[in-house]
Amino acid sequence: MTPNATAGGTPATNHTARNGRTAGLHASINRLSGAGSARNFAAHRNFAHSAALRPFLNDPWRRHHHRHLGWIGPLFWPYAYGTVFYGALWPYEYEDYDPFWAYGYGDVYEAIFPPDDYGSYVRGDYGAPAGRYGSYGRGRGGAARLATLKRSVAQSCTDEAAEVTGWPIDQIQAVVQPDRQQRTLLDDLGNAVVKASELIKSHCPTQVAFTAPARLADMQQRLDGLVQAINIVQPPLAKFYDSLNDEQKARFNALGEPAGGRPQGQQSAQNLQSQCGETAVAWPADQIGQVVRPNGEQRAKLDALDAAAGEAADTIKAACPSELPATPPDRLAAEGKRLQAILQAVETIRPKLNDFYASLSNEQKARFNTIGRQLFAQR
């Protein structure tokens, strides 16, 4: 895939093992992204043009080296299907824009301490003269804005499910040239991809969550769907790959290599470790205490939450591989382990968060809900 690939191309008839790129592969991605750059497909998705989600897309804290998207307002991991499955096939194309390995503890942190005040977006009471989110009118049309926000989240899930057409089954077949038995296994892989797409869509949120416990619940549901999707796709992918001879495997592997060849192992490992730690942040125990001012009983619950957060961070950190696996099945399996670790981290924190949050008064809850904006404003 090259940045100047054009949409509307047709599958190439002559394939080489030099880099595995084909006109059909370019066209497949560009039909999805509506943009000329395969590498930056995520920047041109429909959610970027949604009036309800656009305000939360380009905030300063998202503008770091890997351009990790994470949460977009109330939506966690827009187009995760592409990040997970395309990343397993073409890891070097997406290591600089919203790479899979940048997802981790920072997203759990942001679920609990959101930087985006989309409650104010819905109410229309931002306070700033021009408003971070444009001129929607103070205090008017809140119901309509909430409905629009819900539709935008739902539409992103529908668009994401449509990305199943981006899996280059036809291109894999053209490059690998499977025999009859291998074609049957490739068909099984294609059917698994369709099933995984439907499952991911079914695990998308249908409501907009405004509190930390509700956001973390949405995140758990989303991660659970992704873990199940990988469990559906990885076995038939591995079975198909294992059926190939060495030459066919080399051609399949070349689909994911950059034009200049695979990066040196040390360089690739360093970049992978950088991505895994990109969103690492310190748990704000002191800030929570200062803002919420818990009583004795609440302090004990907060201490339990602090301990759970530390355990969750360690779990996710341990799931970062030392180097990027060389084959698509192994990369997808490694992604599955990472997602399972993030899911386990959420499952570790969530009951402690629910217990602490439920013990707060309404006034304390309101103060707790502002911590994220305070923390991110200081960055």
In this predicted structure, what is the pLDDT of residue 258?
Answer: 62
**Which of 149-158, 177-186, 270-279, 317-326 is predicted with the least confidence, judged by mean pLDDT?**
270-279
In this predicted structure, what is the pLDDT of residue 298?
Answer: 96
In this predicted structure, what is the pLDDT of residue 301?
Answer: 97
**Which of 35-44, 101-110, 221-230 is predicted with the least confidence, judged by mean pLDDT?**
35-44
In this predicted structure, what is the pLDDT of residue 61?
Answer: 52
Across 11-24, average pLDDT: 33
**Which of 106-110, 139-143, 177-181, 351-355 is predicted with the least confidence, judged by mean pLDDT?**
139-143
Checking if the pLDDT of 195 tops 50, the result is yes
> Residue 178 domain-assigned?
yes
* Cα–Cα distances in angstroms (integers) from residue 73 to residues 53, 143, 242, in the given order: 7, 17, 42
Checking if the pLDDT of 7 tops 60, the result is no
> Residue 157 domain-assigned?
yes
In this predicted structure, what is the pLDDT of residue 98?
Answer: 76
CB 86 within 8 A of CB 168: no
**Which of 75-89, 120-134, 147-161, 248-262 is predicted with the least confidence, judged by mean pLDDT?**
120-134
The encoded tokens of residue 144 equal 């309509």
Report the mean per-residue pLDDT for the chain: 77
Checking if the pLDDT of 223 tops 80, the result is yes
Cα–Cα distance measured from residue 136 to residue 41, given in angstroms and rounded to the nearest whole number: 29
Amino acid identity, residue 176? V
**Which of 85-89, 154-158, 177-181 is predicted with the least confidence, judged by mean pLDDT?**
154-158
**Which of 29-38, 67-76, 127-136, 163-172 is predicted with the least confidence, judged by mean pLDDT?**
29-38
What distance lies between CA 25 and its chain's CA centroid? 22
> Residue 2 domain-assigned?
no
CB 111 within 8 A of CB 71: yes
**Which of 22-31, 36-45, 241-250, 355-364 is predicted with the least confidence, judged by mean pLDDT?**
22-31
> Residue 12 domain-assigned?
no
CB 191 within 8 A of CB 28: no
In this predicted structure, what is the pLDDT of residue 373?
Answer: 84
> Residue 13 domain-assigned?
no
> Residue 10 domain-assigned?
no
CB 1 within 8 A of CB 25: yes
Domain that holds residue 218: 24-377
Cα–Cα distance measured from residue 262 to residue 247, given in angstroms and rounded to the nearest whole number: 17
In this predicted structure, what is the pLDDT of residue 50?
Answer: 66
Checking if the pLDDT of 38 tops 50, the result is no
Share of the chain above pLDDT 90, in %: 39
In this predicted structure, what is the pLDDT of residue 3?
Answer: 28
The backbone torsions φ and ψ at residue 94, rounded to the nearest 5 degrees and listed phi first, read -115, 10
Cα–Cα distance measured from residue 212 to residue 119, given in angstroms and rounded to the nearest whole number: 13
In this predicted structure, what is the pLDDT of residue 347?
Answer: 98
The pTM (predicted TM-score) of the whole model is 0.81
- Number of domains into which the chain is organized: 1
In this predicted structure, what is the pLDDT of residue 183?
Answer: 96
> Residue 7 domain-assigned?
no
In this predicted structure, what is the pLDDT of residue 43?
Answer: 44
> Residue 290 domain-assigned?
yes
pLDDT band for position 44 (50/70/90)? Answer: very low
More confident: 97 or 65: 97
Across 361-376, average pLDDT: 91
